[in-house]
Amino acid sequence: MAVKSVIEAVREAMFEEMKRDPNVFIMGEDVGKRGGVFLATRGLIEEFGEERVIDTPLAESSIAGIALGAAMQGRRPIAEIQFADFIWPAVNQIIGEAARVRYGTKGVLHVPMVVRCPYGGGVRGGLFHSQSPEAYFAHTPGLKVVCPSTPYDAKGLLKAAIRDEDPVVFFEHKRTYRLVRGEVPDEEYVLPIGVADIKRAGSDITCISYGLMVHYCLEAAEMLAKEGVNVEVLDLRTVRPLDKEAILESVRKTSRVLIVHEDNRTGGLGAEVAAIIAEEAFGHLDAPITRVTGPDVPAMPFSPPLEDFFMPNPEKIAAGLRRVASY
């Protein structure tokens, strides 16, 4: 095992899958010589050539739409959207089209394509380089949506996404790219899409999250441990399909729930998680299902004090946990 960063894990996953399967190719803005603006594709054009690492024109709808066409032809495109904030022009091709191909052709065609998408804030990115649009995609049947939090998960899940027969939107939290490091096995492994992971076992409260926030939840859990509250941190890893069983099992055990995400509160992932619990674990609940989330403003502002105010952090999460614990 070696300790790696999330961005290294992402790069390795693509490298290995491109080695393994000649149908896999990459397309996106600046993925070639530049190696991507976050260097996720660094070295890949040198290894695999311009035919398999394609610098596209600046046109997201066609990046997704051309990937879709190529996927129907049998290729396995990895389409990079440079920042999640720029995925909106591609939504027609991803949500409108790709998600419906298998269903609308009754299985005659399918779309084994991955849309990789750096997302999230806390990087001084302002309104248009900080967005967390995962909930929009997670609402879409036909898509799978992955939001890993660690290098280990990122690598194993990205490999799974590339091998998946259906369109996967793969959200990589920009702030984790270099900040989060962790052990990654030397040998090959693939993680199943749709399976949550208990990142910290506990008995008093279930704290459910994904992406960067998982790390903040873990920090908050340590704070609460000192106060005698034993928090279980459940990392969803995949936000569509949700691992309902893992969610319900943990809640049945703890009877108390805090859901944490960076995205705006209203209609975020937390809403669906809460609804599932309120419908299917109602009898087990001892406290209101509580959410700590980004506030309902249109996006994360640029200036440091404003950005800090927006972002959930370990202190805000700890406060939420205390509220749930003391109900």
Pull the structure tokens for residue 167. 């369109």
Looking at the Cβ atoms of 86 and 302, the one nearer to ligand TPP is 86
Q: What are phi and psi of 39, to 5 degrees?
A: 65, 25
Phi-psi region of 256 (alpha: psi -120 to 50; beta: other; left: phi over 0): beta
Spatial separation of the C-alpha atoms in residues 160 and 163, rounded to whole Å:
5
CB of 172 vs a copy of itself, minimal distance in Å: 20
Pull the structure tokens for residue 35. 């190696």
Pull the structure tokens for residue 111. 């779309």
CB of 132 vs a copy of itself, minimal distance in Å: 11
CB of 86 vs ligand TPP, minimal distance in Å: 4
Task: Write the interaction track for a copy of itself spanning residues 57-96; mark x where CB under 8 A is met and - where it is not.
Answer: ----x-----------------------x--xx-xx--xx
CB of 89 vs ligand TPP, minimal distance in Å: 6
Rg of the chain on CA atoms, in Å: 19
3-class DSSP state of 111: coil
Contacts of 278 (CB under 8 A, 6+ apart): 285, 289
Pull the structure tokens for residue 107. 């299985």
Tell me which of 110, 129, 173, 261 is the catalytic residue: 129
Whether 129 is catalytic is: yes
Spatial separation of the C-alpha atoms in residues 166 and 188, rounded to whole Å:
22
Q: Is 270 in the site for another protein (CB under 8 A)?
A: no
| Selected binder of a copy of itself within 120, 121, 148, 268 (CB under 8 A) | 268
Q: Is 37 in the site for another protein (CB under 8 A)?
A: yes
Give the interface segment with a copy of itself, choosing from 67-75, 137-145, 184-192, 199-207 (CB under 8 A).
137-145
Spatial separation of the C-alpha atoms in residues 210 and 154, rounded to whole Å:
12
Catalytic residues: 129
* Interacting residues with a copy of itself (CB under 8 A): 61, 85, 88-89, 91-92, 95-96, 99-100, 102-104, 127, 135-136, 138-142, 240, 242, 264, 266-272, 274-275, 277-280, 282-283, 285, 287-291, 296-299
